[in-house]
Chains A and B, each alone.
Chain A
Amino acid sequence: MKTWLILLCGLVLWAVHFFVAYFIGEFIGETQGPRIAVLGLTLLCLAGVAALGVLLRSMRPEDDHDRWRRSAALGTLAISFVAIFWQGFPALFVP
């Protein structure tokens, strides 16, 4: 379980961000309030990814497997960071 949490934490955060943002757009609307909510959520999730990155870097791997797990997890965090960052853009472009 711990291994999966480490490997997937960033992506899980992306999924939370994506679906909450989508549900805001789908079920609440696209007026100013929801847009600000999406931006706030984006900043929160980006901070979350950054915090996870710091946490992972501070872990001391004991063997090859743990080292591998940590470096792969840092990679998924990088991708998640970019994906969440992009996910915030649409809230900035108001017709």
Chain B
Amino acid sequence: MSPEAPIPASTASWLPVILDSAGPFSQPVTTLAWVIFTGGFVILGIVIAALTIALFGSPRLKARLGGEKAIWIGGFAFPVVVLTILLIWGLWLTSHLSAQRITGDEMRVRVIGEMWWWRVHYLDENGRETFRDANELHIPVGQPVLLDLQAADVIHSFWVPRLAGKMDMIPGRTNRLLIQADAPGVYHGQCAEYCGGPHALMGFVVVAHAPEDFARWQAARAPAPAAQGSAARGADLFMSSGCAACHTIRGSPADGLAGPDLTHVGSRRSLGAGILPNNKGTLAGWIADSQALKPGNRMPAYHQFDGEELRALADYLASRQ
């Protein structure tokens, strides 16, 4: 299996993901969120208390609420003070978290949203592409990662709640987003801008490794060796049945660009853009009838394969580590 050390499965926290931040680009927002939730509840309580007094209170208490002075205090002065503080905090945080604060030390990745999956291009420090992957993003912990976000067709939005807020991927533009994970782990993401059809099933994962594991993972990005046995039969089927027209497997004749790069598909944690666990069974099931699993996706169902052929294809793909 994959060369890297085992990664803890997504941490089972009782907190909702937005409040369970895992990096410096989400942590300050979580703090802000706790403060505004608390403040919001307190203010709601005050308003309900004021309403209760207005409806049921003693004449003395009611008299205090029943004039223009109370309106000026409750409806103008109080909000102005609270909102001034919040606005300053929000503006400071906006500039603090903005991708315009890049230092040049970031690892760089280009992520391109497609209908309904993600192209991932790892870049060197000069922005040149080093290798390609799909639907999964590997990063080292403790290091900021600068993402160049683009869209190939319609608008998508890149969002890993535990690492950073979301950023839209808009055709014709390159938006930039900084993310960072402070602990190894698997972080779920999902497209957040409605992009038609199976938008609901457009997920992905970010895998954060300890630095030495990340180096090992990076070193292992060479294409897997030629397939053996059943997998070799699968390779033949892959090349002869049209799969290669859409998918690239480096080190093989397959060089299609329409669908996800499958060079390392066997090492991925999920299939179908973050919706299925990755094993030979789901691989075979996906090939046979991806339309049942993710209706509307761009890959046709391959009903023509029999069970043995599907097994061979799954063996082949699973061996692409």
Contacts and interface: CB of A to CB of B under 8 A. Distances in A.
Interface of A: 78-79, 82, 86, 89-90, 92-95
A95 B95 contact: yes
B175 to A, nearest CB: 15
Given A89-B91, A93-B92, A95-B98, 14 more contacts: A78-B76, A82-B80, A86-B83, A86-B84, A86-B87, A89-B87, A89-B88, A90-B91, A92-B91, A93-B91, A93-B95, A94-B95, A95-B100, A95-B101
Interface in B77-107: 80, 83-84, 87-88, 91-92, 94-96, 98, 100-101
A82 B91 CA distance: 16
Contacts of B80: 82
A89 to B, nearest CB: 6
A92 B95 CA distance: 10
21 contacts: A78-B76, A79-B76, A82-B80, A86-B83, A86-B84, A86-B87, A89-B87, A89-B88, A89-B91, A90-B91, A92-B91, A93-B91, A93-B92, A93-B94, A93-B95, A94-B95, A95-B95, A95-B96, A95-B98, A95-B100, A95-B101
Nearest to A71: B68
Contacts of B84: 86
Interface of B: 76, 80, 83-84, 87-88, 91-92, 94-96, 98, 100-101
Contacts of A86: 83-84, 87
Interface SS of chain B: helix, strand, loop or mixed?
helix
Contacts of A95: 95-96, 98, 100-101
Nearest to B101: A95
A82 B77 CA distance: 10
A94 B94 CA distance: 10
Contacts of B96: 95
A79 B76 CA distance: 8
Nearest to B88: A89
A75 B88 CA distance: 24
A63 to B, nearest CB: 21
Nearest to A79: B76
Contacts of B88: 89
Contacts of B87: 86, 89
Nearest to B91: A93
Contacts of B92: 93
A80 B80 CA distance: 12
Contacts of B101: 95
A78 B76 CA distance: 9
Nearest to A91: B91
Contacts of A94: 95
A17 B95 CA distance: 22
A92 B92 CA distance: 9
A95 B101 CA distance: 6
Contacts of A79: 76
A86 B86 CA distance: 11
A40 to B, nearest CB: 19
Contacts of B100: 95
Contacts of A78: 76
Nearest to A94: B95
A84 to B, nearest CB: 13
Q: Which of A79, A90, A93, A94 has the most CB of B within 10 A?
A: A93
A29 B295 CA distance: 44
Task: Name the residue in A78, A82, A94, A95 with the highest tally of chain B Cβ atoms < 10 Å from its Cβ.
Answer: A95
Nearest to B93: A93
What are the 4 A-B residue pairs with the smallest beta carbon separation, nearest first?
A95-B95, A95-B100, A95-B98, A93-B95
Contacts of A93: 91-92, 94-95
Contacts of B83: 86
A78 B79 CA distance: 13
B302 to A, nearest CB: 49
A37 to B, nearest CB: 18
